[in-house]
Amino acid sequence: METIATNEKIKLTPKDFAPEADVKWCPGCGDYSILKQVQTIFPDLGVPKENFVFISGIGCSSRFTYYMDTYGMHSIHGRAAAIASGVKAANPELSVWVISGDGDSLSIGGNHFIHLMRKNFDINYLMFNNQIYSLTKGQYSPTSEKGKITKTSPYGSIEEPFNSIELALSAKASFVARTLDRDPKHMQSILKKAHAHKGTSFVEVYQNCPVFNDGAFFAFSDKETKNEEAIRLEHGKPLLFGNNDEKGIKLDGLTPVIVNLQEQNISVDDLWIHDENDKTKAIFISRFFDTTFNDVAFPRPFGVIYSQERPVYEEILSAQIEALNASKGRMSLDRILSGEKTWTIL
């Protein structure tokens, strides 16, 4: 990585984050778009270039670290979250980004994933979800839909898929959002919000794999279908969708229902107003993933689903260490490890 001097203000550009290495993903892979959006927004984040760090696991997505001219580590399968936690604990001033896929995050890395969410390091976690294992040539993954026919499920997967948004919320994530590779402006907006959030920011990115799962998410971005199949969440705005915003979602007690404003003579004021700070409603929204009303599937939500400010792990850890040093003085490693409740056997 080329080091940028910090003793004078230097205006960074997207090119400053593009290395000389050739970017090698399959033609049409959604990872190209994600890389482009990350490089586009980074100059605007106000972070010195030498303070960016990328940690990835194993998978197609994890080649990302080679394609960002920053510090980084292409790490171990499923362990990116653990390594990133160590990096942030050792140097809280760094802007740490985890790049992982649905298999890397939710299968072999599932345990590390849920504990990173609850610990709340100030880390940005981007999970590229293509609902398939692509690097290993097309096996079903933890997010593959039930009935998915792949090389390892030739008669259709019999497993229920993870709803990653619901999982992150249940693991006490403090920021949860979803975007997709075919909507660059939306992705840039979500990435900026994730960076601005102090705490673990989990962003699920729907990413197309043109070789092994082509078109899995096109319904949410194609001009002909996106207005009916997707709903864009905005804090303080009603939940509206449809080609002419004629449909909405309201709560009937504790049950979300789909309504047609024109046919049912319902006012926009009667609709559910999105509050990204409301965890209960965030759980409801996460379930739009597999919820129907009168046999009609709910639109898939995109945007910031939940955001909560709470103390971050590395600051609590630093405060604890400072308090111990103040009360007991700096201790040797031997003394720390031996503790105060030891005895000598003669």
Extents of the domains making up the chain: 14-221
Report the predicted TM-score, pTM, of the whole model to 2 decimal places.
0.93
Hey, which residues does 100 pair with through a beta bridge? 127
Report which of 292, 283, 291, 289 is spatially closest to residue 163, judged by C-alpha positions: 289
What is the C-alpha separation between 38 and 252, in angstroms, rounded? Answer: 40
C-alpha–C-alpha distance, residues 81 and 16, integer Å: 26
Looking at CATH, the fold of the domain delimited by 14-221 is given as Rossmann fold (3.40.50)
| DSSP run (H or E) holding 307 | strand 300-307
Please give the average pLDDT of every successive group of 10 residues along the chain, which has 346 residues.
Answer: 57 94 95 98 97 97 96 96 97 98 96 98 98 94 95 95 97 98 98 98 98 96 96 97 96 93 93 97 94 84 97 96 90 82 78
- pLDDT value at residue 3: 55
Q: What is the pLDDT of residue 7?
A: 46
DSSP letters along 141-188, please? -TTSPTT--BTTBTT---SPPP-HHHHHHHTT-SEEEEEETT-HHHHH
Residue 221 · residue 237 · CB < 8 Å: no
Per the CB < 8 A criterion, the answer to whether 32 and 25 are in contact is: yes
Sheet holding 240-241, edge to edge: 240-241, 247-252, 255-260
